[in-house]
Homo-oligomer: A and B are copies of this chain.
Amino acid sequence: MPVNCCRKKKGNQNNLDEINMEKEITIVNEQRLIKLLKQNSLSITDSRKKILQLFLEQNGALAHGDIERKAGEKFDRVTVYRTLQVFVDKGIIHTIPTADNSIRYALCKDECGEGHHHDHHVHFVCNSCNNTYCLDDVVTPGIKLPKGYSANHVEVVVEGVCKNCQ
């Protein structure tokens, strides 16, 4: 992993006025999507824009199936698979392990890039709404392993009831 490998993306919180016309919002988002894709040296295509948009609009994580559904009939299933793979490779999204054979994907923060993820945060799965959230501020704890084991990465998934469902 190269030194100084982490790009600095602008925060870009997208705090648009609620009163903005729909069209205007669309334009802004489109620009943002294109910028993000360009930053990652990806060519700008409809499917990439659409799928990236889904992640940006979404608070929590998305499973492949969710994306297929939300992207509508617009794209081939194969394209969705390939797009997700590219996004993971580029450090745009990361995977979240589950115990039900349906990997979830969520946006990475700015520190991730091609070939190196740094998503050292805890994930939360709500038993009520069934959403999965990145708890970006909750850092994964160090784990003391038995002699002989060495750790590369620690993944923590907490299951419970989320803020909205209490």
Q: A143-B138, A143-B141 are in contact. Are A156 and B159 (CB under 8 A)?
A: no
Contact between chains at B159 and A143 (CB < 8 Å): no
A161 at the interface (CB under 8 A from B): yes
Give the complex CA separation of A9 and B159 in angstroms.
28
Give the complex CA separation of A101 and B98 in angstroms.
8
Contact between chains at A143 and B158 (CB < 8 Å): yes
A76 at the interface (CB under 8 A from B): no
Determine how many copies of this chain the complex contains: 2
Partner of A160, one of B122, B127, B151, B160: B151
Residues of B within 8 A of A124 (CB): 145, 149
Q: Which residues of A contact B (CB under 8 A)?
A: 95-103, 122, 124, 127, 135, 137-138, 141, 143-163, 166
Given contacts A99-B103, A149-B163, 14 further A-B contacts (CB under 8 A): A97-B99, A122-B145, A124-B149, A135-B146, A135-B149, A137-B146, A145-B160, A148-B162, A150-B166, A151-B158, A154-B156, A154-B157, A155-B159, A157-B157
